[in-house]
Structure 1
Amino acid sequence: MTMTQLAIIGGTGLTRLEGLKIIDRKPIETPFGIPSADYIIGELDAKTVIFLARHGDPHIIPPHKINYRANIWGLKELGVRQIIAVAAVGGITSKMAPAHIAVPDQIIDYSYGRKHTFFEEDLEEVTHIDFTSPYSAELREKLISAAANAQITVTPTGTYGCTQGPRLETAAEIQRMERDGCDLVGMTGMPEAALAKEQGIDYAALGVVANWAAGKTEGEITMAEIEQNLHKGMADTAKLLKAFIARL
């Protein structure tokens, strides 16, 4: 069942892709359950893409309850070869200011209890994947180039730390993550990236900084602050994605 080769997974702040002309909706049942939402088949700048709302439509599935395996399996069934994953994140290091966009190149996984592999039952042999580079270098370079063409500043590298959620982190946890080398903190980067790798799908991410991480500023992190930063960051992300798709 081949529909198109490119999929965009939208996270918090990107439940819709502006300018996407919806052609069809595909509900899919997988051996791993029901995906977060119907897969939206659409056209953007005369190019066919698939869009999936990671947290559901409406946005009601918390990070630790997302059926990542069903989401990725369904995309594979639709013939997807490339995934651009968009996610709201917290900024840890100084270059990751709110409303900024990063194209991470590494991940550290702090999540737990999630169904994180397709290779656990009915195996003919134990299967391991090389996860040295969790993101596709080719896709990352194309995103960085598209950002330059759209005159959007991005940070072309960074380490994404994936926490369990849905609560935000403590200041001490962020201090530990920074010592570990994390530049960004989010809740959905894993096992999504690893599952895509298991299915042979090229995968890259756009981290849209919604706020400074815990302890990086005085006072509490508020949803109003997050929404304001996401409004700008996601608008730039949409421009970047359009520039990327236009060059396909």
Structure 2
Amino acid sequence: MSTDQSSAAPGINLEQARLGVLGGSGLYAMEGLEDVRELVVETPFGEPSDALRLGRIGGLEVVFLARHGRHHSYTPSEVPYRANLWALRSLGVRWILSVSAVGSLQEQFRPLDMMVPDQFIDRTHQRPLTFFGEGVVAHVAAADPFCPTLSRLLADVGESLMPTGRQLHRGGTYLCMEGPAFSTRAESELYRSWGCGVIGMTNHTEARLAREAEMAYATLAMVTDYDCWHQEHASVSVELVLDNLRANATLAQEIVRVAAERIGAQRPGSGTHRALRHALMTPKEQVPPDTRRRVDLFTAPYWGALTEEG
């Protein structure tokens, strides 16, 4: 697949774009990065979860961020999602691979399997889900919340690397719950009845913000347990989750490394890269100056960069 510059926003150069990797529970560092340096990025939305690590895999520059912090200091509700995504975008990231631990809500998604989901249901209620507001309105399309192009690339790589006896599943619905406690059995059965495939606590928030920031987003969801609905398996526990996370970590690192090499070679364009083209509703002249400065990183291709006087 060649770079589809026609699907990118005005002014974007995917030849210079970087890949972002968001590491979840159990993945606090990115192996295989060369020439690594740490960057502290200030954002209009506060401090990111941690310093960002910029390095290289082959011909592609990669920015890694541990979403919970390298010492797992943030609960899912406390993760500074807007700061994290703004920081990545400010560093030229246009593709994001999220690596996340999830519980299974269906028999076929077995512990140690992986899934590349294609849909969300959001059950969070304590998180900001937009960069906009306070005088500026944007309505991005979210019918397909994951980037299909990036998800297909990630699934192709994952499928080719899965060991015998373990499976990578293409597609499925990720139920995003608030946390940090795991589900009750009644909740787990409710989500199963909705047809959800896996359950996690972070990715929906990231995906919504990544769409507004015009970054293609895909998830490698690592199944750690059967949640608490499966009567023939032990109820989900921290010990079980951590054991399976460790078992999955090496494989996840390899999948992300090979996916990064392919992204570097193909530099795929995505409709996501122009998500704001028809989404900005407020005339730029009516946006308060402080608000305009906060979103200028995203709106500059359409409204022009904000001047010092503006």
TMscore range, shorter length: over 0.9
Structure 1 distance, partners of 2:134, 2:85, is: 17
Structure 2 distance, partners of 1:168, 1:48, is: 36
Q: Note the residue ranges of structure 1 that are not aligned, 5 or more in a row.
A: none
**Which of 159, 163, 173 matches 1:148?**
159
Structure 1 distance, partners of 2:248, 2:203, is: 18
Kindly indicate which of the two structures has a greater share of residues assigned to helix: 2
The answer to whether the aligner puts 1:225 opposite 2:240 as a matched pair is yes
SS of equivalent to 1:63:
coil
Structure 2 distance, partners of 1:55, 1:237, is: 17
Deviation at 1:63, TM superposition (A): 0.3
Structure 1 distance, partners of 2:28, 2:17, is: 20
Structure 1 distance, partners of 2:132, 2:194, is: 28
**Which of 108, 118, 121 matches 2:134?**
121
Q: Note the residue ranges of structure 2 that are not aligned, 5 or more in a row.
A: 1-12, 265-310
1:19-168 → structure 2 map (5 Å cutoff): 19-45=32-58, 47-123=60-136, 126-151=137-162, 153-168=167-182
Letter matched to residue 213 of structure 1: D
Partners of 2:162 and 2:168 within 8 A in 1? no
Structure 2 distance, partners of 1:231, 1:45, is: 26
Structure 2 distance, partners of 1:182, 1:169, is: 14
Partners of 1:4 and 1:50 within 8 A in 2? no
Structure 2 distance, partners of 1:151, 1:186, is: 22
Letter matched to residue 21 of structure 1: E
Partners of 1:4 and 1:49 within 8 A in 2? no
Structure 2 distance, partners of 1:13, 1:94, is: 24
Does 223-232 or 185-194 show the bigger shift?
Answer: 223-232
The answer to whether the aligner puts 1:239 opposite 2:250 as a matched pair is no
For this pair of structures, how many residues does the alignment match?
Answer: 245
SS of equivalent to 2:117:
coil
Partners of 2:19 and 2:60 within 8 A in 1? no
SS of equivalent to 1:214:
coil
Deviation at 1:246, TM superposition (A): 2.3
Deviation at 1:102, TM superposition (A): 0.4
Structure 2 distance, partners of 1:235, 1:94, is: 24
Does 228-237 or 103-112 show the bigger shift?
Answer: 228-237
- Which whole-Å deviations, capped at 9, do the CAs of 1:141-195 have from their partners, x for residues lacking one? 1011112333453101110000000000001101111111210000001211000
Bigger radius of gyration among the two: 2
Cα–Cα, structure 1 residues 54 and 22, in superposed 2: closer, same or farther, change >3 Å?
farther
Identity level (%):
34
Does 222-231 or 73-82 show the bigger shift?
Answer: 222-231
Cα–Cα, structure 1 residues 72 and 239, in superposed 2: closer, same or farther, change >3 Å?
same
Partners of 2:105 and 2:229 within 8 A in 1? no
Partners of 1:45 and 1:242 within 8 A in 2? no
The answer to whether the aligner puts 1:15 opposite 2:28 as a matched pair is yes
Structure 1 distance, partners of 2:56, 2:106, is: 37
Cα–Cα, structure 1 residues 119 and 18, in superposed 2: closer, same or farther, change >3 Å?
same
Q: What corresponds to 1:208 in structure 2?
A: 222
SS of equivalent to 1:191:
helix
SS of equivalent to 1:51:
strand
